[in-house]
Structure 1
Amino acid sequence: MSRETDRTRHELLALRCRRGEPAALTELVRTWEPRLFFYVRRMLVDEEEAWQVLQEVWLAVLSRIDGLREPRCLPQWLYTIARNTLMSHLRGRYAERERAAAEAPEPIDEDDPLARWTDAEQVYAGLARLPPVDREVLTLCFLDDLSIAEIAEVLAIPPGTVKSRLFKARRALRAVLEGAE
């Protein structure tokens, strides 16, 4: 299916959801839950935690669907909500870690890296070892198949920044994967 056909299909689904059609809301969840879970799961190590975050994402999506200004941009809108929810969750988790650390102080190539490693589990394990910024951009680009412009919209950064983050993240993933061999 072409991108234009997908955009039209997304637009119609978003408009039906805004009208409050129960079948449309069911279709929205059925269609997008696997993709959004995949994105969230790549960003979080714990599967149960990922499901909890995804539940928060769906609450936000269903409560804000009326505010979707550009129905054709449904994918970017969904990923933006997922990202914002995820970042809020991670900020809370990091703040919790900081409080715990304060209480108990501790002692002081350009080839696509995914093409070389065909074992998906090895790639996913490598992704889990990357910083969230690198993991996020690689997941959106390679695993969720968003364009540079779409990623820029989701992350609210310029396309040039997306390209530079992709370059850095590819190198980091390659280093992690080569170190695991």
Structure 2
Amino acid sequence: MEDQEIVKRLKNGEGRDHAFRLLVEKYQERMYWHIRKMVIDHEDADDLVQDVFVKVWKGIDRFREDSNLYTWLYRIATNECLTFLNKKKRRFFLPIGRNEGELELKLESDALISGDEVSMRLQKALLKLPDKQRLVFNMRYFDEIAYEDMARITDTSVGALKASYHHAVKKIEEFIREH
């Protein structure tokens, strides 16, 4: 079923439960990996994916359909990630280095993340980036999202996103050279 039909059924109530199941089936894995690349931890990612779909269920009537459905979903997921990461930093009063260390341990022990040396070094380099640069890098490099779509998702200008991506790439290159 096309996204427009799913949205139509979600909004008018006709076959709403079925349409929601289709929406979850279509986007759950993409949302999971988008979130997982930001929060690293599997359980946190699972919880956030559920939160995203609850927000979609409750807020579908506010979806104006002036963007693609996946753009709206990514925006919700992105906001949930950034809110979660900020709360986690405040809750534990962790200096950024200690939070990175915790995430690095989870990364190394996770069976779902590829363990080859190059891939692990890239993942560790990503942990060193500020949250927003990591988000932009993940969306562009891994998800291959166009800058225009990222601008709608993050409510940021294309120029700022390109600059964030450029800075992220430079920091990653430097980290990999040094490690």
- The answer to whether TM tops 0.5 is yes
1:138 to 1:82, Cα distance in 2 relative to 1, 3 A: same
Residue 100 of structure 2: aligned partner: none
* Structure with larger RCO (C-alpha < 8 A, sep 6+): 1
- The answer as to whether partners of 2:71 and 2:149 remain within 8 angstroms in 1 is yes
CA contact (8 A) 2:82 2:131 kept: no
Residue 2 of structure 2: aligned partner: 9
Matched, 1:84 2:84: no
Which residue does the alignment assign to 2:141? Answer: 142
Verify: 1:18 aligned to 2:17, yes or no: no
How far the C-alpha of 1:36 sits from its partner, in A, is 0.8
Distance 1:118 1:153, change over 3 A: farther
Equivalent residues of 2:56, 2:73 under 8 A apart: yes
Percent sequence identity is 23
2:47 maps to 1:48: no
User: CA–CA distance in 2 between the matches of 1:9 and 1:145?
Assistant: 21
Cα distance in 1 for partners of 2:121, 2:7 equals 36
Equivalent residue, structure 1, for 2:55: 60
| Equivalences, count | 157
Taking only aligned residues, the RMSD between alpha carbons, in angstroms, comes to 2.4
Write the letter of the residue equivalent to 1:129: K
Contact 1:45 1:128 in 2 (8 A): no
Deviation at 1:71, TM superposition (A): 6.3
Q: SS where residue 24 of structure 2 aligns?
A: helix
Inter-partner Cα distance in structure 1 for 2:121 and 2:170: 16
Please tell me whether residue 31 in structure 1 is matched to residue 30 in structure 2: no
2:155 is aligned with what amino acid? Answer: A
Name the CA distance, whole Å, in 1 between partners of 2:66 and 2:144: 19
Higher mean displacement: 16-25 or 53-62: 16-25
Aligned residues of 1:57 and 1:81 also touching (Cα < 8 A)? yes
Change (3 A) 1:118 1:9: farther
User: Partners in 2 of 1:73 and 1:64 — Cα distance?
Assistant: 15
Give the Cα–Cα distance (whole angstroms) in 2 for the partners of residues 162 and 77 of structure 1: 18
Q: Which runs of 5+ in 1 are unaligned?
A: 1-7, 102-116
2:32–2:46: 8 Å Cα contact kept in structure 1? Answer: yes
Pair 1:96 & 2:91 matched: yes
**Secondary structure, counterpart of 2:2 in structure 1:** helix
Letter in 2 for 1:33: Q
Q: What's the TM-score, normalizing by structure 2?
A: 0.77
Return the offset for 1:15.
2.1
Once the two structures are overlaid, the 10-residue window that deviates more, 19-28 or 153-162, is 19-28
1:175 is paired with a residue whose SS is helix
Q: How far does residue 120 in structure 1 lie from its aligned partner after superposition?
A: 3.9
